[in-house]
A and B are shown apart, each in its own frame.
Chain A
Amino acid sequence: MARWFGYGAAGLLVGITLLAGTTTTLAKSSASDPPLVVGVDNGSPTFSDNFNPFAYQRIGRLLIYEPLAMVNPYSGHATPWLATHWQYPHPKTLIITVRNGVKWNDGVPFTAADVAFTFNLLKKFPALDSSGLWSVLKSVTASGDTVTFRYSQAAVPTLEQILQVPIVPEHIWSKIANPVTYTDTRPVGTGPYVLKQFTPYQYILAKNPGYWQADKVAVPELVFPTLGTNQIAQLRLVSGQWQWASLFIPDIKAIYASKSPYHQYWFPGGAPVSLVLNLKKAPFSDPRFREAVAYAINRQAIVDKAEFGYVPPASQSLLTLPAQASWLDPSIPHRGYIPFDPARARAILKAAGYRWNAQGQLLGRGGKVVSFSIEIPSGWTDWIQTSQMIADDLGKLGMQVQVKTPKYGTYASDQTSGVFTAVLGGAGGQPNPYWSFYYLLNPQNTFGWKSKYTTDLLAQWDATSSKTAQRDLAYRLENVMTHQFPVIPLFYGATWAEFSTKNYVGWPSASDPYTSPAPYLQSVLMIVTHLRPRG
């Protein structure tokens, strides 16, 4: 992705930076607590003035508009936010109780009517309904402190999606003719920050004094500068000008962490990057063949070389471990981690009736040499290296594997139309494992997975709000993953997050993983209410 662009050129400055040591430049200092400079919003090259919570523009919107609950991006655990309580009295009815005493930053009280208004706005303008909620909802109505969601068909797993919709004030948004193209340059939200100043190269958010948990907000101001090129962004982070960023940095210990004891980072693993084979084509249609491939790949070597050791290998269960460990079927051996075992891979192929020719090449069922190519978007260097290592590993089993690097557009459209043979792609990684399984195995999938069994399991999950029943369904789906190998997870895709503990502490970390450390997710609300001045 973008983080890999200019990688070669970056090397030069990285080298110089190593010699240069640190130069400290602070935005300003005063008797009160200093601002926090966040290098994450990519003005390209300048910011467009748009804080519309439904447009994917200024990241600062996430600190102004709040959702009903904070859903942990890894474990799926939901912390009450604008909602205090929710329940399904029936799989087709969801009742949410909203928080009392919350005010919009213009002083108007927040009510259940605002919540109902927001969801009905998504109905009226489908462009805002990014989770397709109204394909299953029938009505959303407010009464007193509660909002009632009625479904046209049971879809209990939509709970997490409903809880994450940013809520907008009815007294303002009801007057907006077209909320899709509304630029919202003076955002009115319930969040901990208000927009203090906007200029094309920088915007500043100031603490909202009337915030409903104002006592938990320690940072008086958040400054969002534009990023510039990768090289300049890295200079600014390493020199301490930025105290929070999301940059890919090769050899982060030497380049960043060694510069100051305050320079901290945490790269938690998210959606598993997986080898996706086209199941419509032989020999990929054979689960035993896929199983052999899973054992033939040396994931640890890939993680160490292609991913700089930043992320761990992924479990075949499709769950994001360890965060989703509570969903994992304990009877699955090694928690679903497939060991590197080429001898076993060979034995599986042999037992399934595959043969090799005199040159040691693996033959398919029809007697043809097994030969295929893996597609990765050009420029995604870590994925390209991963594919080359997979090609080597599979080559030792007698397969002929090439690596193709088309432009991203071709890569994407090949998958949408299902014309590929093999690709690397993201799979899983959703807060609620239901969606990890659904996005992969739903009947509209384009990689050729056909199974009435998994479709039925997903439908049963739609219709149950019982935690035990949901867990049982997850166990079954995990067993499909570990026995049928629809896709082969390789490693957990990293989230890049660097932060400074110089002025503020309380960041999420491996030892205190209360949420994702990424500065571009809704979870920033959780982080700014945890940060406190260094004592």
Chain B
Amino acid sequence: MAKRFVFLVFTLWIAVTLNFLIPRMMPGNPAELMVRRIVGQGPVNPQLVHAVEIMLGLPVGSMAHQYVLYLGNMIHGSFGVSYTYFPYPVMQVIGQALPWTLALLGTTTIVTFVLGTALGAFAAWRRGSWFDTAATVTANFTATFPFFWIALMAIYVLGFLLHWFPINGGYGAGLTPGWNGTFLASALDHSILPALTIVVAGTGGWLFGMRNNMIHVLGEDYVRLAVAKGLGGHVIALDYGARNAILPNITGFAMSLGTLVGGSILVESVFGYPGMGYLLYNAVGDQDYPLMQAIFLLITVGTLLANFLADLAYGVLDPRARRGGESS
């Protein structure tokens, strides 16, 4: 356990350090980018760049000095002020975006996982049936189609032409977030189209994984033994087949939960959804170091934590892993 903890801290330190270095290795400086947005393609006024540099309070001093300062701030959970959303603090900007991502992607990740895995298991159990064929062909189609195409078609047909759903945003224009009926109804209404698109595009992957694993497991000797013993179809399908076949999918699920805090750049930018993915996209585009660093750190912590939880879940589901974990 102590070993694992040391490893966790070491991994975190590497991640935090990379997080410091990578943005600083990008060419150009954030003030120049901001000025470019102000002046368009015209000539750049050096005085304006200078004023913007002072305004943003760009890091000064040697890299070593900046690094020490940065580590200190990390420990205190202080990430500074965002350049893009100047002068709002990074933590406040993230605090506004995170709930949206967690709600939308959290729900859809669970739904796609459960739906895909269940359908995959059923397809494998009834392999060769009409259901298997239909599910495999459909999943093949939705999983390989470019996501943005599905999203744009959904927006255009269901949103723009039919007016069934709003085409853009996380809630209605003119509403302020709060715990009231109007706002919650509007937020729900706005989330249906992106959620639907994610579920349609994402279920196929889980379905395939589960179906292939399960067919493999159903060919194992112990399954044949169970059939020979005369066990019921339910027991064989769920306790023998699905329980063993689901293990790789659990790892995948844990990983996708871990990266969830980073949001989905594609989904959120196509739908103008106010979550972490859009935030990250803008932060990178604007070289908003403070914001980028905070988001990357969140993703790192999320991934490490999810891995840890996946390990625990493995122990529950697979006794072999539990014993292996204890002996080492």
Binding site for B on A (CB under 8 A): 1, 9, 12-13, 16, 20, 23, 44-46, 48, 50, 55-57, 126-132, 135, 180-183, 197, 199-202, 204, 225-226, 228-229, 231-232, 235, 239, 270-271, 273, 406-413, 416, 425-430, 435-436, 439-440, 444, 493, 495
B residues less than 8 Å from A270 (CB atoms): 40, 42
A residues less than 8 Å from B51 (CB atoms): 126-130, 132
Shortest CB distance B267–A (Å): 12
CB-CB nearest in chain B for A133? B47
Contact across chains for A493 and B173 when beta carbons are under 8 A apart: no
B residues less than 8 Å from A440 (CB atoms): 43
Contact across chains for B174 and A44 when beta carbons are under 8 A apart: no
**Nearest 4 interchain pairs by C-beta:** A409-B28, A132-B47, A202-B173, A181-B87
Among A9, A407, A427, A493, point to the contact of B28 (Cβ < 8 A): A407
Known pairs A45-B169, A413-B28; list 7 more (Cβ under 8 Å): A46-B170, A199-B175, A202-B174, A270-B42, A407-B27, A409-B28, A439-B44
Binding site for A on B (CB under 8 A): 26-29, 32-34, 36-48, 50-52, 54-55, 81, 84-88, 93, 96, 148-149, 152, 155-156, 160-161, 167-177, 268-270, 272-274, 278, 282, 287
B residues less than 8 Å from A197 (CB atoms): 174
B residues less than 8 Å from A273 (CB atoms): 41
B residues less than 8 Å from A9 (CB atoms): 148, 152
A232 and B43 in contact, given A44-B278, A226-B169 (Cβ under 8 angstroms): no
Contact across chains for A226 and B87 when beta carbons are under 8 A apart: no
Residue among B161, B169, B176 having the largest count of chain A Cβ atoms under 10 Å: B169
Shortest CB distance A10–B (Å): 10
Among B28, B155, B167, B176, point to the contact of A199 (Cβ < 8 A): B176
CA A271 to CA B44, docked complex, whole Å? 11
CA A497 to CA B221, docked complex, whole Å? 72
A439 and B268 in contact, given A16-B156, A46-B274 (Cβ under 8 angstroms): no
A201 and B161 in contact, given A132-B47, A409-B27 (Cβ under 8 angstroms): no
Contact across chains for A45 and B170 when beta carbons are under 8 A apart: yes
A residues less than 8 Å from B88 (CB atoms): 48, 50, 183
A409 and B173 in contact, given A13-B152, A231-B152, A271-B43 (Cβ under 8 angstroms): no
Contact across chains for B37 and A56 when beta carbons are under 8 A apart: yes
B residues less than 8 Å from A239 (CB atoms): 160
Shortest CB distance B69–A (Å): 19
Contact across chains for A13 and B156 when beta carbons are under 8 A apart: yes
Residue among A201, A226, A425, A429 having the largest count of chain B Cβ atoms under 10 Å: A201
Among B28, B96, B169, B175, point to the contact of A408 (Cβ < 8 A): B28
Contact across chains for B27 and A229 when beta carbons are under 8 A apart: no
Contact across chains for B34 and A23 when beta carbons are under 8 A apart: no
11 contacts between A and B (CB under 8 A): A23-B161, A45-B272, A127-B55, A201-B173, A228-B169, A409-B26, A409-B29, A410-B27, A426-B40, A428-B43, A495-B40
Shortest CB distance B175–A (Å): 6
Shortest CB distance A424–B (Å): 9
CA A495 to CA B40, docked complex, whole Å? 9
Among A46, A201, A411, A416, point to the contact of B174 (Cβ < 8 A): A201
A residues less than 8 Å from B169 (CB atoms): 45, 201, 226, 228
CA A138 to CA B46, docked complex, whole Å? 21
Among A23, A135, A408, A444, point to the contact of B33 (Cβ < 8 A): A408
CA A48 to CA B93, docked complex, whole Å? 9
Contact across chains for A131 and B47 when beta carbons are under 8 A apart: yes
CA A427 to CA B171, docked complex, whole Å? 42
